[in-house]
Amino acid sequence: MQDKPHPPPEGRLPNATKGADHLRQVFSNQMGLSDQDIVALSGGHTLGRCHKERSGFEGAWTTNPLIFDNSYFKELLTGEKDGLLQLPTDKVLLSDPVFRPLVDKYAADEDAFFADYAEAHLKLSELG
């Protein structure tokens, strides 16, 4: 399997500079995913990094972007750190009254994150 050379068409992924309403527009209105799905899928940022040539942003969200765990949520709660990325769409998870309790839950309970992520990832995968 080979990585695709270009990102998905504009609008299929959320614009990283926008807020909660935009996340809901993309994931809920267009894809039928719940707020819980949005937050759980955001936890996928625990893996990998942004590349400036693809997104305009550069960096990893966690100190070890090769490990799938709940560190994305823990890092969000500790605030910005030099060398780690927090996009506007990440930060909105802290300020939105529905998203924030889910961030707190996943930071405290890795098993809950794993279970909800698996369910949300399956839903997303089934969309094609």
What domain count does the chain have? Answer: 1
Predicted pLDDT at 39: 95
Report residue 84: phi and psi, to 5°: -115, 145
Residue 55: inside a domain, yes or no? yes
pLDDT band of residue 12 (cuts 50, 70, 90) is low
Instruction: Decide: 92 and 20 in contact? Cβ < 8 Å.
Output: yes
Report residue 117: phi and psi, to 5°: -65, -45
pLDDT tens per residue across span 49-76: 877 777 777 777 888 888 999 999 999 9
Q: For residue 97, give its domain range.
A: 43-126
Please list, in sequence order, all residues whose beta carbon lies within 8 angstroms of the beta carbon of residue 70, skipping any fewer than 6 positions away.
43, 46, 106, 107, 109, 110, 113
pLDDT tens per residue across span 39-51: 999 999 899 887 7
**Quick check: pTM over 0.85?**
no
Average pLDDT of span 13-27: 82
pLDDT band of residue 97 (cuts 50, 70, 90) is very high
- For the chain, the average pLDDT equals 85
Residue 101: inside a domain, yes or no? yes
Domain with residue 60: its CATH number is 1.10.420.10
- Cα separation of 9 and 58, whole Å? 20
Predicted pLDDT at 48: 83
Cα–Cα–Cα angle for 76, 16, 50, nearest 5°?
A: 75
Residue 34: inside a domain, yes or no? no
Residue 110: inside a domain, yes or no? yes
pLDDT band of residue 105 (cuts 50, 70, 90) is very high
